[in-house]
């Protein structure tokens, strides 16, 4: 018994003496908040220019911190892979580069047009990179974006990106494109990957609008910003959007409606002789925001009319969206997923070759809106004298 105990103590001693692998002091690390990739300016094949945006904790927590000031620094290098880039940057940066807090991965449009094979794979296989990290396409160069972006309301860039990206729930003008989803879509045969598009405005503020559509991992086009609501509705990621409905009788004035998702879309896709056909049923809740017209919405008839107008408007948006995907020949809405259930085995579905037959898509859209008019009470009050 005593011997065993001694043996153990010896073993434990060994453990504690052999050093602590993987140990890193929290303040000895440089936390990369966003990273970007561009085509290498030196034009070398197989190299990309990687830019890291690293937060400076002291500036964020410092006593006289102000918003609108830069609380980060950037490091740029050209390297064939992520780990080489890390080691190259570590020669400059005093702290060790840590990728576990990356919340935004940017690719320049140029690079995306050349294709992102290899880059996305290396990110996916990296344990430090979160599967839920946002991937976005930058209209200008990623380096420029990361160097110049200036958050106005936040001191922490990480919070800035997180909040900015999740604002799509309010606006319905962008989409949350996570890297795992981006990657799995690129591998799958029933849909294509998409990535949010971002750019800097004149005040050096980031703006996320619209999404880029890929085929495989190659950029092929961009969806119209105004049609993105259709995309969100079909992929059941829609939360809320505002629509302005011109009322036929007073077309100069608009009635503003807020649309909210009621339930997931009901989509059935069948393929007959190489022609896919989709039936789509969308159910939404609508709320009246403001009524700029003098129409009395208190009437049941007018309400029904308005509801039909809303339904038609949404239908129009979804229709336009699908038309655009057909033109791009890319199933960004992932309608192929719904065709799978008609097949018993994977091979049978694979034979249909969804990506090839997608442009032949015919569809039928039905929208059911449920107009909530509780706010109409205000409008039933006598109008103010003009």
Question: By the criterion CB under 8 A, which residues form the site for another protein?
Answer: 4, 7-8, 11-12, 14-16, 18, 20-27, 29, 31, 33, 55, 57-58, 60-62, 98, 100-101, 103, 127-128, 130-132, 156, 158-159, 162, 180, 183-184, 187-189, 337-338, 340-341, 343-349
**Least distance (Å) from another protein to the CB of residue 272?**
17
| Torsion sign across C-alpha atoms 131, 136, 137, 140 | negative
Nearer to another protein, 93 or 372 (CB): 93
**Least distance (Å) from another protein to the CB of residue 89?**
18
Nearer to another protein, 73 or 302 (CB): 73
**Least distance (Å) from another protein to the CB of residue 240?**
17
Nearer to another protein, 27 or 45 (CB): 27
Nearer to another protein, 109 or 355 (CB): 355
**Least distance (Å) from another protein to the CB of residue 144?**
24
What is the C-alpha separation between 284 and 274, in angstroms, rounded? 32
**Least distance (Å) from another protein to the CB of residue 243?**
26
Nearer to another protein, 206 or 243 (CB): 206
**Least distance (Å) from another protein to the CB of residue 117?**
15
Nearer to another protein, 35 or 314 (CB): 35
Secondary structure in 3-state letters for the chain: CHHHHHHHHHHHHHHHHCCCCCCCCHHHEEEEEEEEEEECCCCCCCCEEEEEEEECHHHHHCCCCCCCCCCEEEEEEEECCHHHHHHHHHHHCCCEEECCCCCEEEEEHHHHHHCCCCHHHHHHCCCCCCCCCEEEEECCCHHHHHHHCCCCCCCCHHHHHHHHHHCHHHHCCCCCCEHHHHHHHHHCCCCCCEEEEEEECCCCCEEEEEEEEEECCEEEEECCHHHHHHHHHHCCCCCEEEEEEEECCEEEEEEEEEEEECCCCEEEEEEECCEEEEEEEEEEEEEEEEECCCCCCCCHHHHHHHHHHHHHHHHHHHHHHHHHHHHHCCCCCCCHHHHHHHCCCHHHHHHHCHHHHHHHCEEEEEEEEEEECCCHHHHCCCCCCC
**Least distance (Å) from another protein to the CB of residue 29?**
6
> Most distant CA pair in the chain: distance in Å?
99
Nearer to another protein, 264 or 378 (CB): 264
Nearer to another protein, 132 or 378 (CB): 132
Instruction: Confirm if 130 and 158 have CB atoms less than 8 A apart.
Output: no
Environment class of residue 214 by beta-carbon count within 10 Å: exposed (0-12), middle (13-18) or buried (19+)?
Answer: buried
Nearer to another protein, 11 or 275 (CB): 11
**Least distance (Å) from another protein to the CB of residue 224?**
26
**Least distance (Å) from another protein to the CB of residue 347?**
7
């Amino acid at each position: 018994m005593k011997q065993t105990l001694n043996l153990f103590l010896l073993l434990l001693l060994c453990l504690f003496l052999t050093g602590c692998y993987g140990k890193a002091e929290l303040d000895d690390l440089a936390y990369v908040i966003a990273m970007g990739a561009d085509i290498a300016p030196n034009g070398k094949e197989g190299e990309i220019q990687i830019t890291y945006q690293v937060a400076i904790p002291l500036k964020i927590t410092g006593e006289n911190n102000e918003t609108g000031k830069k609380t980060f620094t950037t490091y740029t290098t050209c390297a064939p892979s992520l780990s080489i880039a890390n080691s190259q940057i570590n020669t400059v940066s005093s702290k060790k580069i840590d990728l576990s807090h990356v919340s935004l991965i940017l690719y320049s449009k140029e690079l995306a047009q050349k294709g992102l094979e290899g880059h996305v794979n290396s990110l996916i296989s990296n344990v430090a990179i979160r599967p839920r990290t946002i991937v976005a396409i930058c209209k200008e160069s990623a380096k420029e974006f990361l160097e110049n972006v200036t958050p106005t309301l936040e001191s922490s860039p990480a919070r800035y990106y997180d909040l900015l990206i999740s604002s799509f729930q309010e606006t319905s003008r962008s989409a949350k494109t996570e890297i795992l989803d981006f990657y799995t879509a690129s591998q799958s045969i029933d849909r294509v990957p998409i990535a949010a598009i971002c750019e800097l405005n004149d005040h050096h503020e980031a703006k996320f609008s619209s999404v880029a559509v890929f085929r495989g991992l190659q950029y092929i086009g961009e969806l119209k910003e105004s049609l993105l609501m259709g995309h969100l509705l079909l992929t059941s990621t829609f939360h809320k959007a505002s629509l302005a409905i011109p009322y036929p009788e007073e077309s100069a004035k608009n009635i503003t409606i807020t649309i909210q998702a009621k339930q997931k879309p009901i989509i059935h896709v069948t393929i007959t002789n190489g022609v896919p056909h989709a039936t789509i049923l969308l159910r939404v809740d609508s709320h009246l925001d403001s009524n700029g017209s003098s129409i009395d919405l208190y009437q049941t008839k007018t309400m029904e009319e308005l509801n039909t107008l809303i339904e038609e408007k949404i239908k129009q948006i979804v229709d336009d969206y699908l038309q655009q995907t057909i033109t791009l020949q890319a199933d960004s809405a992932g309608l192929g997923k719904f065709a799978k259930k008609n097949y018993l085995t994977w091979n049978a579905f694979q034979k249909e070759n969804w990506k090839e037959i997608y442009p032949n898509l015919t569809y039928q859209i039905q929208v059911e809106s449920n107009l909530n008019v509780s706010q109409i009470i205000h409008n039933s009050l006598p109008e103010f004298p003009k």
